[in-house]
């Protein structure tokens, strides 16, 4: 049975914050993939955060002053359920998900103008979807047309995502439990990938091991398309072809995380295909690892959002100078931005229901302070493409190390610590591989 209490509490908290007015949040539409096949359905994250309800064609309506929560959802339909499976219907959905009232989605157009009447403000995801924008304005105009019978339409339209984003930024215990479980599954998938990697294998074979591990532990899907990038492919930041063969002397970069009950994990590990880091690979790996550890050490409630990035960049730049990739002083290279030839992305992002989760990174033009309950990724990297002024030993080395980190009252907790990360941990694990079972040995 679903525990609806966290969702009921979130709705109540949102209504208290809004104080008055009507809030409307729709879930995501189903998406056609091709002809009559659909993409696997994924609900809207804001809608799910406030309902726990995973069916398509559903809308939450909140009447803030009355502290009343209403759900519109698909009706029971035995004929459709034979083809597509169970649907709650309004009566059972209201009970299971703790709504005060529920109606069929077919009644939405008829009921919305009445629900909007005499509400001082309308809160919805303004501009997120042109279809919903025009529906909202249609209902609004319908209410305005009743002005002569003394009915007032909402005078204000506000973006409901602003307060919900702020709520979602601080994870509650229910969310943290799910995020820990998602992280544990993904750590297992990265261990499995290390054990399944071998010279002569293919990137997609390793990807298949990862997906197998996600699903066998109940994760519904990957949280984003997995990146399984051997050798030079690791220098393509969003590489998703995953179709190349793996060479003994290359590194393999894997950025993969599962989604469990809506919550994302996001892990990157980079390791040698043959199980042993060689000279320049080892040097760059140790550098990125030192940058990542420095960045994690910079995560605490005493720090601001950018502290981790600043710490990582400082370590990376010193290494780039030592390796002859950049010239000058650390401050000079940071100032000029020359390091961006090898480190062109930022060190992390918020993590939650969305892999790049909601929440502002700045407040009043200042990096926001970290607070207990925030979850972020820490993911420095170094990507070295061949170039005239780059020592050849470093060519085509692409390394990223990414963990999911919870801000705690005293510092930080790495949720993904179970994925091997040091050179020794990776090499010891990979020694357990059985060469006779490698696909390349077939």
Select from 224, 367, 395, 438 the one that contacts ligand GLY (CB under 6 A): 224
Catalytic: 433? no
Cross-strand pairs, 69: 62
Q: Which residues contact 147 (CB under 8 A, 6 or more apart)?
A: 153
In this complex, which beta carbon is closest to ligand GLY, that of residue 116 or of residue 253?
253
Dig out the tokens for 306 from the structure: 């950018």
> What region does 70 belong to: left with phi over 0, alpha with psi -120 to 50, or beta?
beta
Contact 73, 93 (CB under 8 A): yes
Whether 200 and 439 have beta carbons less than 8 Å apart is answered as yes
Render 294-333 in DSSP notation, one character per residue. Answer: HHHHT-STTSBTTHHHHHHHHHHHHHHHHTTSS-S-HHHH
Minimum Å gap between C-beta 278 and Mn ion is 25
Active site residue 402: yes
Q: Which stretch binds Mn ion (CB under 5 A): 74-82, 125-133, 362-370, 373-381?
A: 373-381
Which residue's CB is nearer to ligand GLY, number 112 or number 227?
227
Check 238, 364, 388, 392 and give the catalytic one: 238
- Which residue spans within 160-310 are E strands per DSSP? 221-222, 227-230, 251-256, 258-260, 263-264, 267-272
Catalytic residue among 255, 261, 354, 357: 255
Dihedral sign for Cα atoms in the order 143, 148, 151, 156: positive
Nearer to Mn ion by Cβ, of 74 and 168: the residue is 168
36 is catalytic: yes
The closest alpha carbon to 73, from 46, 49, 101, 114, belongs to: 101
Q: 255 or 354: whose CB is closer to Mn ion?
A: 255
Tell me if residue 238 is catalytic. yes
244-303 positions binding ligand GLY, by CB under 6 A? 255, 266
Partner from Mn ion, ligand GLY, none binding residue 354, C-beta < 5-8 Å depending on class: none
Minimum CB–partner distance for residue 292 and ligand GLY (Å): 13
Nearest residue (CB) to ligand GLY, 3 versus 360: 360
For 415, the token pair is 């949720």
226 or 274, CB closer to ligand GLY? 226
Is 400 designated active site? yes
Stretch that binds Mn ion, among 6-14, 258-266, 304-312, 388-396 (CB under 5 A): 258-266
CA dihedral 61, 63, 68, 70 (to 10 degrees): -10
Chain positions 388 to 407 lying near ligand GLY, rule: CB under 6 A, are 402
Q: Which of 41, 145, 356, 437 is catalytic?
A: 356
In whole angstroms, give the CA distance from residue 347 to residue 345. Answer: 7
Tell me how far, at minimum, the Cβ of 416 lies from ligand GLY, in Å.
12
Q: Give the binding-site size for Mn ion (rule: CB under 5 A).
A: 4
Contact status: 255 vs Mn ion (CB under 5 A): yes
Distance of closest approach, residue 195 Cβ to Mn ion, in angstroms: 21
- Please identify which residue in 326, 377, 384, 421 interacts with Mn ion, judged by CB under 5 A: 377
Tell me which of 355, 374, 375, 399 binds ligand GLY, using CB under 6 A.
355
The active-site residue, picked from 33, 35, 36, 79, is 36
Q: Is 175 a catalytic residue?
A: no
Give min distance, CB of 189 to ligand GLY, in A: 13
> Which DSSP string do the residues of 353-418 spell out, in sequence order?
SSSS----SEETTEEPBP-TT-EEEE--EEEE---TTS-GGGTTEEEE-BEEEEE-SSSEEETTTT
Q: Are 360 and 353 in contact (CB under 8 A)?
A: no
Query: Closest separation between CB of residue 211 and ligand GLY, Å?
Result: 15
CB 257 within 8 A of CB 267: yes
DSSP 8-class letter at 344: -
User: Considering the complex, what minimum distance in angstroms separates the CB of residue 349 from ligand GLY?
Assistant: 6
Structure tokens, 77: 């339909």
Question: Could you confirm whether 327 is annotated as catalytic?
Answer: no
Smaller CB separation from Mn ion, 205 or 226: 226
Catalytic residue of the set 42, 111, 144, 345: 345
Specify whether 255 is catalytic: yes
271's tokens: 């390791």
CA distance 429 to 21: 57
- DSSP letter for each residue of 46-67: HHHHHH----SS-EEEEETTTT
Asked if 263 is an active-site residue, the reply is: no
Closer residue to ligand GLY (CB): 225 or 422: 225
Which residues of this protein are in contact with ligand GLY, per CB under 6 A? Answer: 224, 255, 266, 349, 355, 379, 402
Which amino acids are annotated catalytic? 36, 238, 255, 266, 345, 349, 356, 379, 383, 400, 402
Which residues of this protein are in contact with Mn ion, per CB under 5 A? Answer: 255, 266, 377, 402
């Amino acid at each position: 049975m679903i525990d609806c209490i966290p969702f009921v509490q979130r709705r109540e908290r949102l209504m208290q914050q809004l104080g008055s007015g009507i809030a409307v949040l729709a879930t995501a539409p189903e998406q056609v993939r091709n002809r009559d096949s659909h993409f696997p359905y994924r609900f809207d994250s804001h809608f799910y955060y406030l309902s726990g309800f995973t069916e398509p064609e559903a809308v939450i309506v909140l009447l803030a002053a009355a502290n009343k929560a209403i759900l519109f959802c698909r009706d029971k339909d035995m004929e459709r359920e034979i083809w597509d499976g169970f649907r709650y219907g309004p009566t059972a959905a209201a009970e299971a998900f703790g709504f005060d009232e529920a109606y069929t989605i077919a009644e939405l157009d008829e009921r919305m103008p009445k629900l909007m009447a005499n509400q001082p403000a309308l809160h919805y995801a303004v501009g997120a979807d042109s279809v919903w924008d025009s529906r909202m304005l249609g209902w609004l105009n319908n209410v305005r047309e009743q002005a002569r019978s003394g009915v007032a339409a909402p005078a204000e339209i506000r973006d409901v995502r602003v307060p919900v984003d702020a709520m979602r930024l601080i994870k509650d215990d229910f969310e943290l439990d799910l995020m820990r479980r998602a992280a544990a599954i993904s750590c297992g998938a990265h261990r499995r990938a290390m054990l399944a990697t071998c010279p002569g294998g293919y990137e997609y074979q390793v990807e298949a091991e990862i997906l197998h591990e996600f699903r066998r532990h109940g994760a519904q899907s990957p949280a984003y398309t997995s990146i399984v990038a051997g050798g030079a492919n690791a220098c393509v930041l969003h590489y998703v072809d995953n179709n190349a063969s793996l060479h003994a002397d290359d590194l393999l970069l894997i950025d993969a995380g599962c989604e469990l009950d809506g919550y994302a994990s996001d892990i990157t590990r980079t390791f040698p295909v043959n199980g042993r880091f060689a000279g320049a690979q080892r040097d760059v790996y140790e550098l990125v690892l030192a940058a990542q550890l420095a960045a994690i050490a910079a995560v605490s409630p005493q720090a601001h959002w950018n502290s981790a990035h600043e710490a990582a960049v400082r370590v990376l730049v010193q290494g780039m100078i030592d390796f002859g990739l950049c010239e000058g002083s650390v401050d000079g290279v940071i100032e000029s931005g020359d390091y961006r030839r090898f480190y062109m992305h930022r060190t992390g992002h918020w993590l939650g229901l969305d892999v790049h989760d909601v929440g502002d990174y700045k407040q009043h033009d200042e990096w926001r302070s970290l607070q207990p309950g925030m979850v972020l990724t820490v993911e420095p990297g170094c990507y070295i493409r061949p170039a005239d002024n780059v020592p050849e030993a470093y060519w085509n080395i692409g390394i990223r190390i990414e963990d999911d980190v919870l801000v705690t009252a005293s510092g930080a907790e790495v949720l993904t610590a179970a994925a091997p990360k040091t050179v020794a941990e990776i090499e010891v694990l990979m020694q357990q591989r059985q060469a006779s079972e490698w696909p390349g040995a077939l």
